Amino acid sequence: MIDLKNLTIKKARQALDAKEFSAVELAQAYLDEINSKNKELNVYLEVFDDVLEQAKSADERIAKGESSPLLGIPLAIKDNILICGKTFSSASIILQNYVASYDATVIVKLKKQGAIFLGRTNMDDSAMGGSTENSAYGVTKNPHDTSRVAGGSSGGSIVAVASDMALGALGSDTGGSVREPAAFCGIVGMKPTYGRVSRYGLMALGSSLDCIGPAAKNVEDTEIILNAISGSDILDSTTITDTTYPKVSMKKEITIGVPWDLVNAKGVDEKVKENFKYSMEKLQSLGCKVVDISIKNIDMALAVYYIIMPAEASTNLSRIDGMRYGYSADGKTFWDVYKNSRGKGFGKEVRRRILIGTYVLSAGYYDAYYGKAQKIRAMLKQEFAKAFEAVDFIATPTIPFVAWKIGEKTDPLSMYLADIFTITANIVGVPAISIPSGFSEVEGLPAQAGKKLPLGIQFMASHGAEEMLFEIGKKFESIKDNQE
């Protein structure tokens, strides 16, 4: 019997190469786990019917002496990253029967390595949300307490890894959609430098913010997945090369900047602050220098994000009109078809953000909202660049509070506040990683949860400095006595 709970990608690679178990046996173990848990957690919208065929092909390649980091490794794929011939709906009614006609670039790369795709995972409708409560196909539940949200919008992918229903996963991160659920569920989630990973074949939300990012049990596995999917792509003009940004190396004395004004802001749970301060103390004990930094316009980042993202989303989603593909409602006129298709096909949160985006781009309001937001974004980029001249990393909690109960946050603004620590990395385009930092005791949890919910710490680095993030992440993981 394969010990999935303690299995990592690196361990699985070694075991597959040593013929301790086959790719078919490994895939079957995950299929059994999915069969056992998926009904309760609602992680997979579809488990692919060719999983064992994929695994058999991987075994044939291994038998021929082939080996690559992800050959035979079972992965979960978010429902907005296209695999040719498979249905991908972005967890929305409007695309419920859409079958992909091509592979996303990341899928092409993973197929070359021989990764196994288990299925497509649940998410917030059109990737709009931070809880996976906005999915048209039901809520994905937190494995630590099924009465609570998993986070979003990549909730399905994250829970697949956290509940041993996949060994690794891909999600998309526009404002924290990989990192936030990773923190809620106690695994590692990463958003790379903008352009590090091709967006070709990712259903667009905010084109200047979107990133495909990996999730795994530990930093090393996350690094393995990122290395497999990154690289320039002729099909995505925004992708970068290894020489796009100056190479930055870890200094002998690591300096970590903390924007304490933001960390200590109203609305951040006291237990989150305590856990973060404890984490900083442990890093100091390892020889890291922790300094207070001030980023002048960081308090405006949330407002900037919720202007730019809806503006880009309203533009991107205008192509889904009920005419060319996807769900189409009946109507007597063109306008009736358009209105009925989008009104019934998109969920409430998607409609809300489309309306906001259309408003801020409209004549008379463009300069007042969208134009100003872009100016502040440019200022934030300069301020972050200046900060990284003085520090190697910027650290914050990943989330301001633990996962909330399903249905608890009915006010959209209170949910948007969950993004206060994650959105800036997307706005300025720098890489960021969330790593489990311990737990917070919460009253009323079921006995199996141990009255504790996971917390995460986030590290940001300068453009192109993913290697440094992996180094600090591994250093942080080496701290054995995290608050538990």
pLDDT band, residue 192 (cuts 50/70/90): very high
Distance in angstroms (rounded) separating the CA atoms of residues 82 and 88: 6
Q: Is 177 a catalytic residue?
A: yes
**CATH code (residue 138):** 3.90.1300.10
Residue 94 lies in a domain: yes
pLDDT of res. 415: 86
Domain encompassing residue 24: 9-229
Residue from 309, 314, 277 nearest 292 by CA: 277
Q: Are strands 168-173 and 145-149 parallel, antiparallel or unpaired?
A: unpaired
pLDDT of amino acid 482: 46
Residue 105 counted as domain residue: yes
Let me know if residue 28 belongs to a domain: yes
Q: What pLDDT band is residue 43 in, cutting at 50, 70 and 90? A: very high
Q: What angle do CA 436, 438, 444 make, to 5 degrees?
A: 120
- Band of the pLDDT at 412, cuts 50, 70, 90? confident
Q: Is residue 35 part of a domain?
A: yes
Position 334 pLDDT exceeds 90: no
**Which is the catalytic residue, given 92, 126, 153, 440?**
153
Task: Tell whether the torsion through CA atoms of 260, 382, 205 and 79 is positive or negative.
Answer: negative
- Supply the pLDDT for residue 481: 47
> What integer is the mean pLDDT of 135-149?
97
Percent of residues, the chain, with pLDDT higher than 90: 89
Measured CA to CA, the distance from residue 228 to residue 87 in angstroms comes to 24
pLDDT tens, position by position, 101-121: 999 999 999 999 999 999 999
Which of the residues 177, 198, 341, 462 is marked catalytic? 177
The reply to whether 78 belongs to the active site is yes
Q: Is residue 429 part of a domain?
A: no
What pLDDT does residue 449 have?
56
Residue 273 lies in a domain: no
Inter-CA distances, 171 with 49, 371, 400, Å: 21, 30, 21
Q: Is 217 a catalytic residue?
A: no
Distance separating alpha carbons of residues 408 and 125, to the nearest angstrom: 19
Q: In this predicted model, what pLDDT tens digit does every residue of 357-406 receive, in sequence order?
A: 999 999 889 999 999 999 999 999 999 999 999 999 999 999 999 999 99
Model-level pTM? 0.96
Contacts of 54 by beta carbon, 8 Å cutoff, 6+ apart: 27, 48, 116, 117
Average pLDDT over the chain reads 95
**pLDDT band at 480; cut points 50, 70, 90:** low
Q: Residue 323's pLDDT is what?
A: 85
Give pLDDT, residue 243: 93
SS3 420: coil
Q: Is the pLDDT of residue 146 over 90?
A: yes
* Domain assignment of residue 405, yes or no: no
What pLDDT score does 1 carry? Answer: 87
Domain count of the fold of the chain: 1
Rounded Cα distance between 227 and 113, Å, is 11
Evaluate if residue 466 carries a pLDDT over 50.
yes
Q: What is the pLDDT of residue 450?
A: 62
Mean pLDDT computed over 453-470: 97
**Percentage with pLDDT > 70 across the chain:** 98
The reply to whether 341 falls in a domain is no
| Catalytic pick among 78, 217, 271, 282 | 78
